[in-house]
Structure 1
Amino acid sequence: MKTKELDLAYKLSHALDESANTVSANTAERLASARKIALSRKKQGVAVPAFVPQPALASYGSALTPSHSRWAWLGRMGLALPLAALVFGLFAIYQFEQQQQIMDSASIDAEVLTDDLPISAYLDHGFDAFLAKGDK
């Protein structure tokens, strides 16, 4: 279907080009004056401000060469890379804190198991006060 439309457009264009050469001088003058009138009535274009975001590597302008276009992905990663670094950092901090908590628990368990006091002494509320006084 597209080829039929293109063929018709080509035939119309060719027919108009041929008939343009056979237009009388009077008709050509009337067409020229009608064109001038139409152009004078045409509304002048109003400049509308528009925001056009620029890529991070906009300093290269529109003359990006192939050597610069291989770095274009860096401009698109302007938000993704810091976000990924933040997520990775938070995960690392969480893992470090978990490891510290495990080490502290293991240290307390080792001290309890190697001490001569019975476990019931550690459960006594007065024993906590005794330990607090012993640290000072």
Structure 2
Amino acid sequence: MNNKEMQFAYKVKLALDANLDNLSDDTLQSLAAARRVALARKKQTPMTVRVEQPVLAGAFGSAGGMLSPKASWLGRLGVAAPLLAGIILFAGLYQHENAKRVSYLADIDAAVLSDELPLSAYLDHGFNAYLAEKEQ
């Protein structure tokens, strides 16, 4: 049965269950006869389907086998572990770069504060021109 047939059968079952008390005896007998015919047909057609699969697919996939619950857990861990490692790596990289930037700014602040020049000299555009000229 395909999906449409299953949905139709389910809807018919719900409708019959809802109106079970309102059905006449003739209708009940014809439904019982139809059920016997359907069961006879179902018994005649074998529903066994053999699926070929590699040996490892049952052990590590979700297809079943003795390790199915453990394999499912391992499969989820196989996805979550690299994701978690990536998040930790990016967080560590961010912390390292932030610490480097803070250290660099602290070195600049220490150099400016330990210098004999007043802070206003660094804000003067003429002084910057003088330093650039002196370096050449």
Higher Cα Rg, which structure? 1
Scaled by the length of structure 2, the TM-score of the pair is 0.46
Q: Which has the higher contact order (CA 8 A, sep 6+)?
A: 1
Higher helix share: 2
